[in-house]
Chains A and B, each alone.
Chain A
């Protein structure tokens, strides 16, 4: 063997040995529960990485669980919706919602789950910020290569290539090392095997403001954060500007339309709801001028679903429940300042508790959970072409009433918005 040939052989062997060693370690430690390697106490049982990389973990979870029914949505649905509700059909069930999920991401995860195993039922939770005729795109943690687009061999091949990439990556190695070092400070696992984030475990962790300060302080801090997110966006670090002349991205509403079309084409029972955030969210939206766009988007969504129903006579229409209005649930008063009392329905202004989630599912499925009981009469409205205008008018009237009875709370929100966003027209 000549020196250059020997050189190339050693170089190649070094690459293979290192890549192989890293992949083997990652497979055994399995920080993202990708390989489902045995979890051994004191070695790899506590896996902090699955909490930080929920999009990645859920992509693999879907392959292992192979659900027949899923929840799609953001952290609100991730936290609030149980898969044990008696109204579900299709099994097993999996909560496929995750933080900040955009309609485009939800569509991609829907296709992925359906390619793994044909779905029977999908519950889609939309937040008011999804209801836009603008593109929302995807988040930095979203990796389409980890998702099946269909059940074709090509799609599976792409997926296996992505598996190899994740397995033999320095990122995963870092997560493995962190996993090995994290065994002594294990915290309660808040990501349940069915994909739900367990609020009772999550918010009560040491270091969480909800736990360390008070639910009231956390609620107020979250309001501030919500207003901050409405600052005009600056480009993401390192993000390349969209190429001039590049084709326009589909809007969030168009992505929702693709979800509806896909479910219809595949015979999946789809049920949509607008999430029951606390009305502070609606009030912040009103103060920042979001209401006209939101109301129009609701009308358009109703119209889209009516058109879909008209195209499929004899089949059930896709229901759209709106829980974002001013109800006895969403107007729950904040705990008194300085108290450590918890709210009955909310962790913060965005995230509702499971008891509210149970009522949401009761409305969607028409079946109440025995423990949760029937939802309050003023909670949720099934939007149709016939009642959408009435519902919008009712929400406006309820908002006016709320502003009168809770004028102090609304004034505080106005001050907060002025403080965070500065003077606005």
Chain B
């Protein structure tokens, strides 16, 4: 069930809220949490009921392992480490089988010239997200950082439907206490939740979907081998850059909004990434919960930056390569991850160099704009690899962007007028992403344990959400237009990961 569907917005979500809050009002202590688990499982089963045969046992096994490997009274658990290794192996093997087995076999066949056959394996939706959450909780349980061991709470931490299939990737430390000491919900929280959900839906339906066609037409043309003129390629790349941000951040906003309707705060996942003035900054703003996971459970355990600059660069590259592969079993994602790894290495090297020579671009507006432009350009080029059907397609698009394909030789995929329209729409959306306050700045929302966003900019201060009639009409109008634009349902891009 997609968030941007009538089934979800007009049936499942309202019914789930009525059931959850109805049970809560009856003062039935744990029943609302149990109901939320069942609702979440039903939500998951909507896609493919058989997937429950994977999800439910994984929850049970991971919970039991986490409980057993947690230190007791300061002493390490018996067989803690082997059980931790067993759990992580099980989780990674599950992910590897469902997500990477076909990719591995295809790659082997291509390299070895063999024809090893493996049945096509269906990827259970959301597996990349919930497996990461399970691994994190295992590691933290072993470290003694997990405090609550309640199966119901744990099950809801993994399955809570607003975040189950495409994040944000939540951490047990921020979710289990909210379930364990559930405090209910106020009208003010519900009002904020409705607002954020409406913003997310509008981002997805009115913004991302409006630019999606421009990107798809050009990338599909490139995939079919049609030559692109530079203007085609730029229009496609910029349109996709806008589409992906509004699609995924819209999805995350809808997840946060839905969470608030239950009185649960989910972590913020985007903080205006296209305002970033360096790649390091970009990764603090883009898919923040993934960055947090990769940092805490991959980069830091690899040694992080503690073993010198060379090792740091190797760790960064490795982390981003695996981060790329996490997004999809394909060489385009590996290339995308590698590019970002190299960008990060270059960024760290530049920082060290600039520091030694006392250069600080952030002190002057032109310097900041230059830093922003370089960062944005790098991000756009990398998105081409992320979006393209395969590496040759990505190569063709990037070559066209670089002007290596002349206008004369290119059978432009679109008419000139359409390119102008695509560029204008993409530019308008990207300007919005670059200049306007983001959702949490507008709404004054903070995730669990997060500091409330500052509203320093006059625009953000002026627009800051309050339960006023003006905001209510704007929210209602946005919600109505978005709802009435749902007649052509399209999937959220991040579902494929």
In chain A between 220 and 244, which residues have their CB closer than 8 angstroms to a CB of chain B? Answer: 232, 234-238, 240, 243-244
Q: Mark A141-169, 1 if CB is under 8 A from B, else 0.
A: 00000000000000000000100011011
Q: Is there an interface contact between B467 and A6, defined as CB atoms closer than 8 Å?
A: yes
Q: Is there an interface contact between A10 and B476, defined as CB atoms closer than 8 Å?
A: yes
Q: Is there an interface contact between B476 and A12, defined as CB atoms closer than 8 Å?
A: yes
Q: Is there an interface contact between A15 and B480, defined as CB atoms closer than 8 Å?
A: yes
Is residue A129 contacting chain B, with contact meaning CB distance below 8 A?
Answer: no
Q: Which of the listed residues A15, A171, A232, A243 has the most CB atoms from chain B within 10 Å of its own CB?
A: A15
Q: Is there an interface contact between B490 and A238, defined as CB atoms closer than 8 Å?
A: yes
Bound Cα distance A118, B122 (Å): 40
A303 to chain B, nearest CB (A): 31
Known: A7-B468, A22-B484. A237 touches B6 (CB 8 A): no
Is residue B229 contacting chain A, with contact meaning CB distance below 8 A?
Answer: no
Residues of B within 8 A of A (CB): 6, 102, 119-123, 186-188, 190-191, 194, 198, 212-213, 216-217, 220-221, 223-224, 389, 467-469, 471-473, 475-477, 479-481, 483-488, 490-491, 496
Known: A11-B472, A165-B6, A244-B122. A3 touches B481 (CB 8 A): no
Q: Is there an interface contact between B220 and A234, defined as CB atoms closer than 8 Å?
A: yes
Is residue A266 contacting chain B, with contact meaning CB distance below 8 A?
Answer: no
Residues on B with C-beta less than 8 A from A232 are 224
Known: A4-B190, A244-B120, A244-B121. A234 touches B484 (CB 8 A): no
Q: Is there an interface contact between B479 and A11, defined as CB atoms closer than 8 Å?
A: yes
The 5 listed contacts between A and B (C-beta, < 8 Å) are A18-B484, A161-B6, A169-B486, A235-B220, A237-B217
Known: A165-B486, A165-B487, A245-B120. 19 other contacts (CB 8 A): A4-B186, A7-B472, A9-B472, A11-B472, A14-B476, A14-B477, A14-B479, A15-B479, A18-B476, A18-B484, A19-B483, A22-B484, A171-B487, A232-B224, A237-B213, A237-B220, A243-B122, A243-B123, A245-B119
Known: A7-B472, A235-B223. A240 touches B479 (CB 8 A): no
Q: Is there an interface contact between B476 and A166, defined as CB atoms closer than 8 Å?
A: no
Q: Is there an interface contact between A14 and B480, defined as CB atoms closer than 8 Å?
A: yes
Q: Is there an interface contact between A234 and B224, defined as CB atoms closer than 8 Å?
A: yes
Q: Mark A1-43, 1 if CB is under 8 A from B, else 0.
A: 0111111111111110011001000000000000000000000
Q: Which of B123, B188, B217 contacts A4 (CB 8 A)?
A: B188
Residues on A with C-beta less than 8 A from B475 are 11, 14
Residues on A with C-beta less than 8 A from B472 are 6-11, 14
Closest 5 CB pairs of A and B: A14-B476, A234-B224, A10-B472, A7-B467, A18-B480
Is residue A372 contacting chain B, with contact meaning CB distance below 8 A?
Answer: no
Bound Cα distance A237, B216 (Å): 5
Q: Is there an interface contact between B213 and A238, defined as CB atoms closer than 8 Å?
A: yes
B236 to chain A, nearest CB (A): 11
Bound Cα distance A165, B191 (Å): 26
Q: Is there an interface contact between A5 and B187, defined as CB atoms closer than 8 Å?
A: yes
Known: A169-B484, A240-B491. A8 touches B216 (CB 8 A): no
Known: A8-B187, A234-B221, A244-B102. A19 touches B473 (CB 8 A): no
Residues on A with C-beta less than 8 A from B121 are 244-245
Bound Cα distance A170, B478 (Å): 12
Residues on B with C-beta less than 8 A from A244 are 102, 120-123
Bound Cα distance A360, B469 (Å): 66
Bound Cα distance A169, B486 (Å): 8
Residues on B with C-beta less than 8 A from A10 are 469, 472-473, 476
Bound Cα distance A143, B138 (Å): 46
Q: How many A residues face the partner with a CB closer than 8 A?
A: 37
Known: A7-B472, A244-B122. A15 touches B483 (CB 8 A): yes
Bound Cα distance A238, B216 (Å): 5
Is residue A246 contacting chain B, with contact meaning CB distance below 8 A?
Answer: yes
Is residue A173 contacting chain B, with contact meaning CB distance below 8 A?
Answer: yes
B146 to chain A, nearest CB (A): 35
Q: Is there an interface contact between B120 and A170, defined as CB atoms closer than 8 Å?
A: no
Residue of B with least CB distance to A12 = B476
B126 to chain A, nearest CB (A): 14
A8 to chain B, nearest CB (A): 6
B393 to chain A, nearest CB (A): 11
Bound Cα distance A3, B121 (Å): 52
Known: A4-B187, A243-B123, A246-B122. A238 touches B6 (CB 8 A): no
Q: Is there an interface contact between B122 and A245, defined as CB atoms closer than 8 Å?
A: yes
Residue of A with least CB distance to B226 = A234
Residues on A with C-beta less than 8 A from B484 are 18-19, 22, 168-170, 173
Residues on B with C-beta less than 8 A from A161 are 6
B2 to chain A, nearest CB (A): 12
Residues on B with C-beta less than 8 A from A245 are 119-122
Q: Mark A82-119, 1 if CB is under 8 A from B, else 0.
A: 00000000000000000000000000000000000000
Q: Is there an interface contact between A170 and B188, defined as CB atoms closer than 8 Å?
A: no
Residues on B with C-beta less than 8 A from A236 are 220
Q: Is there an interface contact between B223 and A234, defined as CB atoms closer than 8 Å?
A: yes
Q: Which of the listed residues B119, B213, B483 has the most CB atoms from chain A within 10 Å of its own CB?
A: B483
Residues on B with C-beta less than 8 A from A166 are 487
Residue of B with least CB distance to A234 = B224
Bound Cα distance A190, B76 (Å): 81
Q: Is there an interface contact between A171 and B496, defined as CB atoms closer than 8 Å?
A: no
Known: A170-B484, A170-B485, A244-B121. A15 touches B187 (CB 8 A): no
Residue of B with least CB distance to A233 = B224
A157 to chain B, nearest CB (A): 12
Residues on A with C-beta less than 8 A from B496 are 240
Bound Cα distance A11, B476 (Å): 4
Q: Which of the listed residues B216, B467, B490, B491 has the most CB atoms from chain A within 10 Å of its own CB?
A: B467
Q: Is there an interface contact between A18 and B481, defined as CB atoms closer than 8 Å?
A: yes
Bound Cα distance A193, B479 (Å): 38
Bound Cα distance A222, B224 (Å): 23
Bound Cα distance A11, B199 (Å): 13
Residue of A with least CB distance to B222 = A234
Q: Which of A9, A14, A169 contacts B485 (CB 8 A)?
A: A169
Bound Cα distance A158, B186 (Å): 35
Bound Cα distance A156, B350 (Å): 65
Residues on B with C-beta less than 8 A from A237 are 213, 216-217, 220
Q: Which of B191, B212, B480, B490 contacts A8 (CB 8 A)?
A: B191
Q: Which of the listed residues A2, A13, A18, A171 has the most CB atoms from chain B within 10 Å of its own CB?
A: A18
Known: A7-B472, A235-B223, A237-B216. A171 touches B488 (CB 8 A): yes
Residue of B with least CB distance to A13 = B476
A302 to chain B, nearest CB (A): 34
Bound Cα distance A173, B481 (Å): 11
